[in-house]
Amino acid sequence: MSLTTDLPHSKGQAAGGAVKSHGPGTETPAPRRRTRQRRERIFQWLFLVPAVVYMTLFFGYPVVKNVVMSFQEYTTSTFFTGEAPWVGFTNYVTVLSSSLFSTSLLNTVLFTMGSIVGQFVIGLALAIFFQRKFPLNGILRSLLLLPWLLPLIVSSAVWRWILDKDSGALNRFLGDLGIIDTGIPWLTSTSLALIAVVGVNIWIGIPFNLTILYGGLQEIPDELYEAGSLDGATGWKAFRHITWPMLRPVVSVVLVLGVVYTLKVLDIILGLTNGGPANSTQTIATQSYNLSFHEFKFGEGAALGNVLVIISLVFAVLYLRASRRAVDE
Amino acid sequence: MKSAQRTSRPLALAVAALVGLPLAISGCGSSTAASPSEAVTELSVMDYYNNEPDKSFIGDALTKCGTQLGVTVKRETVPGKSLISKVLQQSSSKTLPDVLMLDNPDLQQIAATGALAPLADFKVSTENFAEGVLSAGTYKDKVYGLAPTVNTIALFYNKDILAKAGVTPPTTWEELKAASAKLTAGDQYGLAFNANPTYEGTWQFLPVMWSNGGDEKKIDTKETEQALQLWTDLVKSGSVSSSALNWTQADVKDQFLTGKAAMMVNGPWQIPALDKQPTLQYGVVKIPVREAGQTSVAPLGGEVWTVPQTGNKARQAKAAEMVACLNSDENQLAMATARNTIPSKTTLSDKFASDNPKLATFTELIKTARARTGQLGEEWPAQATKIYTAIQTSLTGNASPADALKQAQGQ
């Protein structure tokens, strides 16, 4: 009983401050009550502490450090001497004015859009397909999760072998079918490499899209389809007027998360082409990695990394708004 | 109140333990920084030989030297790719090992940070070492690291395939192009090399660039352009698969091993794998030069051993003795023989070459081999990036060799 009377009170205090909640008519609360309130406050904070500590340590510190680093001349010597001269926006100017930046940015956009469209369309088609009841449905669906379970380094090594020009499995297959005479240089042609890399990334991303969208489809009540079919909405019409509107919140979550995951993809590209040939698969992520860990220009690498963070942040905000709307609905 | 008191006791204990823990750790740390007079009984060592059989070969040499010096060796091996990040971490937390191995092109980068001690401080002899080896271990006129054994790259050829086609191993670029074209048929390419967008692609290009007088400081020159034209011609004509743009040196070895390439550019560390296939008869010659009379200049590979600045002079002195021991004539020969590498002292070359005829060409090349960081020092990574970018731009046909080099140099 005391708990229920207490709670709204403390809530009011938190929101409006002590003066407002203690109107002129109310008596000053007994000291016992005040200590209890204070203790409750402390406990509320205590529950927050682990999360706050965790966030500061593992999210706050690296982000702040990365931002600071991008304004410094941070080199290998910095690690030993601790000296990192402040250089203002020099790193940003160097990175953004480099001739490689526009290439990387364009590749990042193409890679992300291509991957997302491919993953989503195939993932959705498969999700709808698995809605039907047929034998081996469960087994097939779990087999489709395999790409998700493999370490990315393994996937990229295997795909690198499959896509090899001379002895790759894909070219052998196409050759045996008589479709091609000479091997297609999937990974070594400047016009094909990005397409090949996007293809591999689609293969990796399908399970994620399939799983989430399948879950979303399961949530749609059967009655809607029954009612719809009475009104003549079947097949495409049912999809257009029932499935799609009901699935919309899930779709926006899948897309936005997909974009954020895809923007930062690094290992697949490094494993398949290392950004080549002639930078045709170089993205902002791979370029930032190269700057920091191969050329030891940690400041410039951090600056480019921050550019990527800002792009991701835009989509993260979109995600938050989308998910808030989903909750409101 | 009572209950609060009761619970606070374990709490106090926990707090005491937490406060005590760092003290205990730093206590351990301070013992390593003991006074110089105290005898050193242990040395920590870090290297990247984490695969067999090299892991054991190096481990044995370290243990042997440890016994000679009266210390036990505490060795840590890390994967090659993570060595530098590990070293950087350790240098910021002041926990560098007593003896540190580095890949030679990284030495100047690390020496520039001030994390390494000059070997002259401990009177380590640098006599008889090949010039390139010393230049790889030198930063601003001081020697910081010595490599017991080194390696380089040369041209491997498949004796059977060449004999069948009536081709002799090429010595000039013209001969190389003609031979590669003649050896290309069906599934088989004349030559395999690696032109991937990493430092490895640069490394494989250096012999033709350097032999022709190319300069890594300024790559948009006639000499380097001619070298890049050769690489481009070989790929354009189909004598080298365009997959070279994505191959590693291990892939190149596989092409050669399976007979899909009649010749390859590679190093002596591939010999054990090649010898596993007894049907494969191969020979090794120097990488061809543009015109007869030019010297084939090879890039120097291999790992140097260094003494980090740990702040404990006694341990550092002992560590320097360890580096000296690893570089003794006897140990150089033993390690070189076991690992298919070349002893770095030129005084040992003749004996080594006659004992190991398979490595004779490599031994010859080491005498004049050049260190990648010899001229550029810590600027090497940036310039090496430009070189592989130019190679890729030209080999994909995005620009002519001259334009590719000009673009890359200007970047």
Regarding whether B290 and B257 lie in a shared domain, the answer is yes
Over 80: is that where the pLDDT of A2 sits? no
**Mean pLDDT in residue range B374-382:** 91
Tell me, yes or no, if A56 comes closer than 8 A to chain B by beta carbon.
no
Confirm whether B260 is domain-assigned.
yes
Residues from chain A contacting residue B242 (CB–CB below 8 Å) = 165, 185, 188-189
Residues from chain B contacting residue A296 (CB–CB below 8 Å) = 109, 381
Nearest CB neighbour to B112, from listed A76, A164, A293? A76
Regarding whether B50 and B116 lie in a shared domain, the answer is yes
Dist. CA A291–CA B383, nearest whole Å: 13
For B360, counting Cβ atoms within 10 Å of its Cβ (0-12 exposed, 13-18 middle, 19+ buried), the class is: middle
Total count of residues recorded for chain A? 329
How many angstroms separate the CA of residue B353 from the nearest CA in chain A?
Answer: 36
- The torsion angles phi and psi of B75, rounded to 5 degrees, stand at -105, 140
| Residue B363, amino acid | T
**Mean pLDDT in residue range B303-307:** 97
Regarding whether B224 and B117 lie in a shared domain, the answer is no
How many angstroms separate the CA of residue A318 from the nearest CA in chain B?
Answer: 36
pLDDT in tens, A181-205: 888 999 999 999 999 999 999 999 9
Inter-chain CB proximity B113 and A80 less than 8 Å? yes
**Mean pLDDT in residue range A10-32:** 48
Tell me, yes or no, if A280 comes closer than 8 A to chain B by beta carbon.
yes
Regarding whether B184 and B127 lie in a shared domain, the answer is no
pLDDT over 90 percentage in chain B: 85
pLDDT for the residue numbered A27: 53
Residues from chain B contacting residue A279 (CB–CB below 8 Å) = 197, 389, 392
- Give the strand order in the sheet containing B282-285: B189-192, B261-266, B154-158, B282-285
Confirm whether B237 is domain-assigned.
yes
Dist. CA B48–CA B400, nearest whole Å: 39
Query: Is-contact B322 B44, C-beta < 8 A?
Result: no
How many angstroms separate the CA of residue B24 from the nearest CA in chain A?
Answer: 24
pLDDT in tens, B266-283: 999 999 999 999 999 999
For A220, counting Cβ atoms within 10 Å of its Cβ (0-12 exposed, 13-18 middle, 19+ buried), the class is: middle
Question: Choosing among B245, B310, B406, which should be mutated to test the A contact, i.e. which has the most A CBs within 10 A?
Answer: B245
SS3 label, residue A208? helix
Nearest CB neighbour to A76, from listed B113, B187, B392? B113
Helix locations, chain A, DSSP H = 2-16, 18-21, 31-55, 61-69, 76-81, 90-97, 99-129, 137-143, 146-149, 152-162, 169-176, 193-219, 222-230, 236-238, 244-263, 267-272, 284-293, 298-328
Dist. CA A235–CA A248, nearest whole Å: 18
Inter-chain CB proximity B246 and A190 less than 8 Å? no
Dist. CA B40–CA B168, nearest whole Å: 58
Query: How many domains is chain B built from?
Result: 2
Inter-chain CB proximity A166 and B395 less than 8 Å? no
Over 90: is that where the pLDDT of A30 sits? no
Over 80: is that where the pLDDT of A319 sits? no
Question: Choosing among B93, B243, B407, which should be mutated to test the A contact, i.e. which has the most A CBs within 10 A?
Answer: B243
pLDDT in tens, B133-159: 999 999 999 999 999 999 999 999 999
Confirm whether B58 is domain-assigned.
yes
First to last CA, chain B: 72
Q: Which residues are bridge partners to B305 per DSSP?
A: B101, B146
| CA distance to A13, B66, B366, per residue, from B348 (Å) | 86, 24, 12
**B187: nearest CA partner in chain A:** A166
**B111: nearest CA partner in chain A:** A77
Residues of B with CB under 8 A from a CB of A: 84-85, 88-89, 91-92, 109-110, 112-115, 187, 189, 196-199, 241-246, 260, 378, 381-382, 385, 389, 392-393, 395-396, 398, 407, 411
Inter-chain CB proximity A76 and B242 less than 8 Å? no
Regarding whether B119 and B107 lie in a shared domain, the answer is yes
Regarding whether B262 and B400 lie in a shared domain, the answer is yes
Regarding whether B306 and B161 lie in a shared domain, the answer is no
Inter-chain CB proximity B199 and A276 less than 8 Å? no
Inter-chain CB proximity A80 and B115 less than 8 Å? yes
pLDDT band of residue B400 (cuts 50, 70, 90) is very high
pLDDT for the residue numbered B31: 40
Confirm whether B36 is domain-assigned.
no
Inter-chain CB proximity A77 and B241 less than 8 Å? no
How many CB atoms are closer than 10 A to CB A166? 18
How many angstroms separate the CA of residue B89 from the nearest CA in chain A?
Answer: 7
Inter-chain CB proximity A185 and B243 less than 8 Å? yes
Query: Is-contact B105 B299, C-beta < 8 A?
Result: no
Strands B99-103 and B42-47: parallel
Total count of residues recorded for chain B? 411
Nearest CB neighbour to B242, from listed A160, A165, A274? A165
SS3 label, residue A326? helix
Over 90: is that where the pLDDT of A137 sits? no
Over 60: is that where the pLDDT of B11 sits? no
| Residue B66, amino acid | G
| Residue A117, amino acid | V
pLDDT in tens, A4-16: 434 444 444 444 4
Q: How far is CA B83 from the centre of its chain?
A: 13
Regarding whether B284 and B138 lie in a shared domain, the answer is no
Nearest CB neighbour to A277, from listed B110, B241, B245? B245
Residues from chain A contacting residue B84 (CB–CB below 8 Å) = 293
pLDDT over 90 percentage in chain A: 56
**Mean pLDDT in residue range A257-279:** 92
Per-chain mean pLDDT for chain B:
90
Closest by CA position to B202, among listed B227, B222, B178: B227
Dist. CA B62–CA B46, nearest whole Å: 11
Tell me, yes or no, if A276 comes closer than 8 A to chain B by beta carbon.
yes
Query: Is-contact A131 A217, C-beta < 8 A?
Result: yes
How many CB atoms are closer than 10 A to CB A38? 11
Q: In this structure, what token pair is assigned to residue B124?
A: 């380590």
Question: Choosing among A35, A80, A166, which should be mutated to test the B contact, i.e. which has the most B CBs within 10 A?
Answer: A80
Residues 6+ apart with CB under 8 A from A121: none
What CATH number has the domain bearing residue B306?
3.40.190.10
Q: In this structure, what token pair is assigned to residue B205?
A: 């290009």
How many angstroms separate the CA of residue A97 from the nearest CA in chain B?
Answer: 10
Nearest CB neighbour to A190, from listed B189, B378, B396? B396
Dist. CA A42–CA A46, nearest whole Å: 6
pLDDT for the residue numbered A327: 59
| Residue B373, amino acid | T
Dist. CA A212–CA A252, nearest whole Å: 11
pLDDT in tens, B64-104: 999 999 999 999 999 998 899 999 999 989 999 999 999 99
**A77: nearest CA partner in chain B:** B113
Dist. CA B21–CA B4, nearest whole Å: 26
Tell me, yes or no, if A97 comes closer than 8 A to chain B by beta carbon.
no
How many angstroms separate the CA of residue B186 from the nearest CA in chain A?
Answer: 11
Confirm whether B14 is domain-assigned.
no
Residues from chain A contacting residue B115 (CB–CB below 8 Å) = 80
Question: Choosing among A65, A77, A187, which should be mutated to test the B contact, i.e. which has the most B CBs within 10 A?
Answer: A77
Residues from chain B contacting residue A189 (CB–CB below 8 Å) = 242, 396
pLDDT for the residue numbered A21: 44
Regarding whether B234 and B381 lie in a shared domain, the answer is yes
Inter-chain CB proximity A294 and B411 less than 8 Å? no
Regarding whether B231 and B140 lie in a shared domain, the answer is no
Domain housing B342: 42-151+301-368
pLDDT band of residue A325 (cuts 50, 70, 90) is low
Regarding whether B272 and B188 lie in a shared domain, the answer is yes
| CA distance to A277, A291, B381, per residue, from B384 (Å) | 16, 13, 5
Dist. CA A42–CA A49, nearest whole Å: 10
Query: Is-contact A116 A251, C-beta < 8 A?
Result: no
**B308: nearest CA partner in chain A:** A80
CATH number for the segment(s) A99-328: 1.10.3720.10
Confirm whether B6 is domain-assigned.
no
Nearest CB neighbour to B245, from listed A99, A276, A294? A276
pLDDT in tens, B146-195: 999 999 999 999 999 999 999 999 999 999 999 999 999 988 999 999 99
Regarding whether B189 and B100 lie in a shared domain, the answer is no
Per-chain mean pLDDT for chain A:
86
**A187: nearest CA partner in chain B:** B246
Lowest-confidence region among A1-5, B143-147, B324-328: A1-5
pLDDT band of residue A236 (cuts 50, 70, 90) is confident
How large is the ipTM?
0.83
pLDDT for the residue numbered B19: 43
pLDDT band of residue A253 (cuts 50, 70, 90) is confident
Total CB pairs under 8 A between chain A and B: 96
Q: In this structure, what token pair is assigned to residue B109?
A: 């980068």
Nearest CB neighbour to A278, from listed B84, B92, B396? B396
